[in-house]
Amino acid sequence: MRIINTVAAMQSFCRELRMREVGLGFVPTMGALHEGHLSLVRRAKAECDVVAASIFVNPLQFAPGEDLARYPRTFEEDCKLLEAEGVKVLFAPEAAEMYPDGAVTTVTVAGIGGRLDGASRPGHFAGVATIVAKLFNVVRPDRAYFGQKDAAQLAVIRQMVRDLNFDVELVGCPIVRDADGLALSSRNRYLSATERQQALVLHASLSRMKQMIAEGERDSATLIRGGMEVFQTVTGVRVDYLSVVDARTLLPVASVHSGTLVAIAAHVGNTRLIDNFLMA
């Protein structure tokens, strides 16, 4: 696997692939890789001739006081995992390479960018949209792969791709979970054994809501009440949001139907976790 640290070298490498009409799949990450990330790589590998990945802990998507400094960095281990999955090229720039002195342009996705995590973490989705736009301009992939766990992020990126006419197909991939239901996240590494146990409440709450839907409940407010009740069974967990929204716009819906996203964010100790399900 080739590791490239500069924009110019990555652009030139990817340009060459394009000239050879190679179908290029791209998996952008912030590293600290787990099976969720690897599932994106495997999907890209199955659908594209060549897979590129990136590892960049993007400072722009962290607000002051968030976990930028302690975000897990496991570069050597990540490289081994990506190489073993057959990734051809890894783009791993320093912050100064992506945001050199004098860079002032950012991408703000109005409306949707301020919903769900965008409401709880102001500026977060502008940071995400900016770096993803820049990475798309560097790599110019045919397809880019994102995890459905970050459903709001995917909706914001879809909107950006539509609005700015990026010539890329976005592929959303299913959430990967541990055997007990906890959605995989790089931030799970922050959890103590007790917190990891407490964190299962996110999945339990979603499962309760799924069950209610299976039994015929369609009213969003009733479902949210049912999901919130599950949180009363644990201590040490603070719900940030539990929302029933349209998956495309992230606007609340009064009743659920196909295309509805049920999404949760909660603080388990000092760790903010998210989880969701999408109605087929």
The smaller minimum CB distance to ligand PAF, of residues 131 and 224, is found at 131
Cβ distance 32 to 186 under 8 Å? yes
Closest approach, Cβ 20 to ligand PAF, in A, equals 26
- Minimum CB separation of residue 116 from ligand PAF in Å reads 14
Closer of 58 and 159 to ligand PAF (Cβ): 58
Could you confirm whether 37 is annotated as catalytic? Answer: yes
For 163, the token pair is 């609005």
Shortest Å distance, C-beta 27 to ligand PAF: 9
Nearer to ligand PAF, 154 or 230 (CB): 154
Which of 198, 229, 223, 194 is closest to 210 using CA atoms? 223
* Positions in the binding site for ligand PAF (CB under 6 A): 28-30, 58, 61, 128, 131-132, 150, 153
> For the chain, first and last CA: distance in Å?
37
Contact between 226 and 211 (Cβ < 8 Å): no
Please identify, using beta-carbon distances, which residue of 34 and 88 lies nearer to ligand PAF: 34
Q: What is the nearest approach in angstroms of ligand PAF to the Cβ of residue 53?
A: 10
Of 37, 124, 203, 257, which residue is the catalytic one? 37
Cα four-point dihedral sign 49, 31, 176, 62: negative
Concatenated DSSP letters of 185-224: -GGGGG--HHHHHHHHHHHHHHHHHHHHHHTT--BHHHHH
In the numeric block, which tokens belong to residue 171? 């592929």
If we measure between CA atoms, which residue out of 237, 236, 256 comes closest to residue 246?
256
Nearest distance from residue 224's CB to ligand PAF, in Å?
A: 26
**Least distance to ligand PAF, CB of residue 160, Å:** 11
Close Cβ partners of 132 (under 8 Å, ≥ 6 residues apart): 28, 157, 160
Nearer to ligand PAF, 30 or 262 (CB): 30
What's the Cα-to-Cα distance from 149 to each of 83, 122, 173, 183, rounded to whole Å?
24, 19, 8, 8
**Does an H or E element contain 91, and which?**
strand 89-91
Q: Which is nearer to ligand PAF, 153 or 220 (CB)?
A: 153
Report the catalytic residues: 37
